[in-house]
Amino acid sequence: MGITVVGSIAYDAVSTPFGERQLMLGGAAVHFALAASFFERVHVVGPIGDDFAEEDLARIGSRGVDVSDVERIAGGQTFFWRGVYGWDLNSRETLETRLGVFEGFEPKLSAESRASDVLFLANIQPDLQFQVREQLQDARFVALDSMNLWIDIARESLLRVIGSVDCLILNDSELRQLTQKPNLIAASREVLSWAPTSDRHRGPSVIIAKQGEYGAALVTRTGFFSLPAYPLETVVDPTGAGDTFAGGFVGYIAAHPDEELSDELLRRAMAHATVLASFNVEEFGTERVERLNGAEITERIAELSACTSFSAVPAALRA
């Protein structure tokens, strides 16, 4: 039982057409953990620097998230990311990335973090993801997110860790970049055909292509499913939407340990992922998800179901 996540724990500086924040709590592992904590106990693995405030650690630890494997590195600086969005909130420009304490970080997992049956390798240097993967060899479900930076500068390492997971979650453009295939279905099929990293690993059987405000698509060996984003009128800051999506998806799977990983289960997980992400983008950083409650999630799941279902009533088609 439980979910372990490794990934960035960050301070972000973000500017969107609707405002800006100079130093806000962020990081892939943080957004993931806050979302997944609605479903299961989450253990966060990653380093922070001297500059990381105790009260921010307490914010991550709310909702029962275990932060005992968050390592404070004396003399180190917390991971920092600065990004800017224009009117098209689907694309952003990274202005600055400071790895800080992630340089030279060697994850040491507690027995509790190693005992989780579900693992999420949030976006960070792929060798680091692999080190954590190797410490949870018996996990029943392992998912991974990454980004263009690692496809560009650490491709071989990334391929090694992808071959060791069950589920790959990427932005559509990153999936195209990774496979050099312009069509998303063909790109997903390509990844599904890749051999596992070793006999000990299963290799990816679930591919998710995130498409920002247009939703996300799911491809498995037996099926395809796609959901639009939840229809929102106001989007303020998309930072962390992908990780919050992953938190909803992986969290839902973790909360159903006795169900086999069927396409039907994966569809329900996609719906929860979509709904969690929709809350994340309503305010800056983690602000909205920190105030979220279960009743709001349940209500939005019903609304998403209502606005995405239709009856397959055929028309009397003319010859």
CA Rg, the chain, in Å?
A: 19
Nearer to ligand AMP, 12 or 283 (CB): 12
Contacts with ligand AMP, residue ranges (CB under 6 A): 8, 10, 12, 26-28, 81, 97, 123-124, 149, 239-243
State the minimum distance, in angstroms, from the CB of residue 146 to ligand AMP. Answer: 9
Residue 245 CB, nearest distance to ligand AMP (Å)?
A: 8
Q: Which is nearer to ligand AMP, 124 or 158 (CB)?
A: 124
| CA 86 – CA 160 distance, rounded (Å) | 35
| Residue with smaller CB distance to ligand AMP, 163 or 238 | 238
Q: Which is nearer to ligand AMP, 6 or 201 (CB)?
A: 6
Considering the complex, state which of residue 7 and residue 163 has its C-beta at the smaller distance from ligand AMP.
7
Minimum CB separation of residue 141 from ligand AMP in Å reads: 20
CB of 195 to ligand AMP, least distance (A): 27
Q: How far is the CB of 244 from ligand AMP (least distance, A)?
A: 7
